Each structure stands twice: as structure tokens, then as C-alpha cells.
Amino acid sequence: MTHPGEQYYPRGVRWDDPIERGTLPDLLAIAAAEYGDRPAIEFRDRPISYAELEDKVEIAASAFLRAGYGTDKSVALFLGNTPDHPVNFFGALKAGARIVHLSPLDGEIALSHKLSDSGARVLVTSNLSALLPTALKFLDKGLLDRLIVCEDDDWGKVGTPQTALPQSPAVITYKQFISGVTKPPSWPAINVEDVALLQYTGGTTGLPKGAMLSHGNLTAAVSVYDVWGAPARAERNAIERVICVLPLFHIYALTVVLLSSIRRGHLISLHQRFDVEAVMRDIEVKRATYFPGVPTMWIAIAALPDLDKRDLSSLVSCGSGGAPLPVEVAKIFERRVGMKLKSGWGMTETCSPGTAHPKEGPDKPGSIGLMLPGIEMDVVSLDDPTKVMPIGEVGEIRIRGPNVTKGYWNKPQETAEAFVGDRFLTGDIGYVDADGYFYLVDRKKDMIISGGFNVYPQMIEQAIYTHPSVQEVLVIGIPDDYRGEAAKAFVTLRAGAAPFTIDELRAFLTGKLGKHELPVAVEFAKELPRTPVGKLSRHELRKSQSVPAVQSKVASG
């Protein structure tokens, strides 16, 4: 049976090609044995070889075991893009633990929930001032037993603001954590079906829920991309230099960059943050060959006034993910650089893979591409998720494959609601055309995707409700030229309360929410729309977009 879109697959690739499954510690160990002295990561111009990375991982794993954070324990990582992430990520996994990713972009409310829900009592963070003060709050709140603090200067001094460690028996530096450790005679047995990662995503209640991603799910995801890209890699037969500015705590970077690059022996050029000139230096001077980004990054590059004079000739591949890519941005990039920039689709629950665009095939602007090998997708009725819709008809997209989560941590009801048999209901509304190309038209849930990150209106509403002047609030997404989408708050005021500006609201919410969650606009209304039973209705608000306005200010930032 030919699967939809298979006729456009790269030459020699079939939908039913075998997808391999294994464990993540084995993925790294095999790469270290095969590639040895080859550089795996370059950070601040310093290379770290595959053998050196594996040695650091084994030391970390030994320390986690010695401290009792091994099999069936959760280890939380609250780290940015430095080698501390892969060392502790693979280290905890090799000890048999499962990882809990905490995003430095999240606010305290969401992070506290993830810690308590996951059961992680140990947190690995950094002494950077952007991270440590927040991590110390979790300790003060009794959410942690142990805080392990990596020291950023260990990777070379760059003058990034740092915070001194307090004197506390619960706080230990990473150097102290691994001091005097010896490697065990054997490592804990790890099963392919064991949960490797609790990757938090949105819940119907507004609180994040942990997608249980097994070793098998994550290695299958890497294998799916391996199968898809095999002909292009064979043709090039080269070691790629992959730019990583995407945050490693995000599933897109974890799978597409870190795990996939290690599997293939490539070099990861690791950046602590996105800086357009640093990325251009990587491309023009260091001759990077692959750059996966999110739309906000491509918007910044497309906006460079001298882009058509810049040398991007080393790039063999560039891709966009994390959020829908504006068609206009892709057009600008192609017009000024001569390269096609296409956007695939995936989600946390699929460990990233879902769809992709073949190099050769019909040009379909706005499409998210074809379903990848080993992955089955279809479109079902919004009223009956067992009823498959005909070609071109809009419905909810379903997916199944070896990369798809088995469900949500401690959430049996939400897990049951998310599946029809073994097919996962994505919450994305779209359709598939006669060639097997999928298109997104809306999202079933209220989630906003801003700059590639999930933003949940209810979390923002909860924080806005703490403002003394606010009577009621609804938050919805509005179009944003830079982020794709951003949050806007619609507010009714308490009797006698004065309106406030968007800048005053953002200042009030800073610290309570992550930067990416802060609203960019506020509008005051005499009343907000409700359902027939009296509940505030985001759906009606989105439909109307004509709430009687008292005041509306939009932030320029």
C-alpha cells in the first residue's frame, strides 16, 4: 500500500522503512565509540570531543547514582544552552533516572507545578543570575531537597551576570557533586519502554501536563529523521556543522539538533542565546552547513538590511519549526538569499517528528508537508474522532507512530481523552490534500504559540487576576509580526478602579510570568462575552473581536 505523499519522498525512501528504537545512553555510547576524537560540541570556540563528552556523562551518571538519584527517580534540569545540559541530561539517564525539563522562560507558577507534579526533588541549574535566584525560590518553598549548581565560567569567562551561592547544606556546586566519584562496575539496566523524559505541555485546566517520552519514543524520532535524510547525507558524505541556538529544553532542539547530530557524528555549534550577528559569523566565517530555527529567528535574518550581500553559501539545509512560518517571511528569504525555507510540523507528544517537506516535490506555500516515514496521520471529524474526513475536508489531525507518547504523567483521564485507540488527537485543526500534503487552519485548544513557545491563556489570566484593579479577564492570541502570535488581555475593572497601560501591566506581571507570556496589548471592556451557562468565553471573544473598548494600548516591545 502506498501511503499519502510517499510518491514525493526522497529517492529510495519508503514509508515502511524500518524505524530503530533503543536507549539514549546507548545512542551516545555508540557515537563515542565510533567518532572518538571528533568534536561533538563547540561552545565559546572550545571543542568537546565525543570521547570527552561520554567521559563527562559517565562521571555525572556515577555522581547521580552515588547520591541516590538513579532508577525511577526524577531529575529536573533548569539550564540554558551550555554543555552542562547534555552532560547532565545523558548523565542522569545513564544512572536510570528520568529527566524533567524546566524552561528558563517560564514563570514561577508553571515551574513550581512541574516540580511538584513530577516528583523531582533534585534540580541541576547554573549560577547565572537568570537562573539561580529562581532555583533558590524552589528550595525555600520546600519543593527541593538538593540543588546542584553548575558554574558558567567553567566553559570560559564571558562576563555573564552570576549569583553567589548561599551557605546551605542543600546547595552544592557541580564540582562538589562529582568530587571523588568512581565509576561503577556496571550501569543500571534501562528498558526501551522506560520513561526518559517528562516534557511538559499544556493541560486543559491551564496547568502543564508531563508527556511521558520513553527511550524508545525519542530514539525512534531520531531514526525517523535518519531515514528521511539518508539519501541527502549519502550524497554529501560530509560532517555537518549544525547551529544550535534553539533552547535544548525544547523538544525541537533536543531531537532535531542534539540527539540527531550525536547519532550522525556531526558537530553542534552551541550558542547560549540567539544573536543574529553571532549566527551570521557561524555561517560566513565558520561555514556552518545546517541551521534549524524558529520563525522569529528567520524574521530577524530576513530583516538584515545587507542580507543579499551576506555569504550564506555554506548552508546546505535550513528549516523552520516550533510555530507556523509566515508565508511572507519564506518568500522574502527565498527572494533575497535564493534558498527555500520550509516549515514542518511536530509536537512535544511526538518527540518532534510529524511532517516535513521533500526537497523535490510540488511547491505548496502554507503547507506543513508530508507525513514522515513510520508515522500515520489522518484528519477526523471534530464531532466524532473515529470518523475519518475526506480529502480537503477540515477536521482534527490524528497521529500514531513509534515516536508518539503513551500518555501524560499521573493524568489517566487526560491520557484517555487524547487517544482514539492508539491514535493521538493532536488538537490541531487542518486538512490533507490529494497529494498527501497537510495544512493547519486553527488550533482546537486555546493555546497561543508565541515565538515557537506554547503560551497558555489561563496561566496569564491567573496572574492578571492578582492585580488589585482587575474584576475579570480573558486572554486570547492576536497576530504579531515578530512572534507570529502574542497574548492580548481583555479586562473589566473593579468599581472605581482606574485603567492602566500595557507597560504598567507588564511591569506588574514581570516575575509572575515568563517574558514570552507577557501580554503585548490590553483592552478594557464594560463586559466580557459569556457562554449560555454564564462562563467567560474565549471562543466568543475571538469570534467577536469587537468587544466595546474603553481603552486599548499595544506594547511596542
Q: What is the pLDDT of residues 209-258, one digit of tens each?
A: 999 999 999 999 999 999 999 999 999 999 999 999 999 999 999 999 99
Q: What is the mean pLDDT of residues 446-459?
A: 80
Class of domain 24-190: alpha beta
Start-to-end Cα distance in the chain: 52
| 474 within 8 A of 536, measured Cβ to Cβ | yes
Q: What is the dihedral of CA 37, 39, 40, 45, to 10 degrees?
A: 150
Residue 557: is its pLDDT beyond 70? no
Q: Give per-residue pLDDT as tens, 304-348.
A: 889 888 999 999 988 887 766 777 777 878 887 788 887 789 999
Residue ranges of the chain assigned to CATH 3.40.50.980: 24-190
Task: Round the average pLDDT of the chain to a whole number and report it.
Answer: 91
Q: Binning pLDDT at 50, 70 and 90, where does residue 206 land?
A: low
H or E segment to which residue 133 belongs:
helix 132-140
d(CA 249, CA 258): 11
Q: Where in the chain is the domain with CATH 3.30.300.30?
A: 448-554
Nearest alpha-carbon partner for 63 in 172, 142, 222, 206: 172
Q: Which of 236, 240, 242, 252 is nearest to 320 (CA)?
A: 252
Q: Calculate mean pLDDT across residues 205-212.
A: 83
Q: Which of 255-269, 438-452, 515-529 has the lowest mean pLDDT?
A: 438-452
Q: By mean pLDDT, which of 94-103, 168-177, 281-290, 297-306 is the weakest?
A: 297-306
Residue 352 in contact with residue 364, Cβ under 8 Å?
no
Percent of the chain with pLDDT over 90: 71
* Of the options 3.40.50.2300, 3.65.10.10, 3.30.300.30, 2.60.120.200, the CATH number for the domain spanning 448-554: 3.30.300.30
- If residue 328 lies in a helix (H) or strand (E), which one and from where to where? helix 327-337
CA–CA separation, 155 and 162 (whole Å)? 14
pLDDT at 104 over 60: yes
Q: Does residue 79 surpass a pLDDT of 50?
A: yes
Q: Flag whether pLDDT at 433 surpasses 50.
A: yes
Percent of the chain with pLDDT over 70: 94
Read off the pLDDT band of 534 (50, 70, 90). Answer: low
CATH topology of domain 6-19+214-443: Rossmann fold (3.40.50)
pLDDT at res. 554: 38
Say how far apart CA 391 and CA 254 lie, in whole Å: 33
d(CA 117, CA 408) in angstroms, rounded, equals: 11
Look at residue 529 and tell me whether its pLDDT is greater than 50: yes
Residue 455: is its pLDDT beyond 90?
A: no
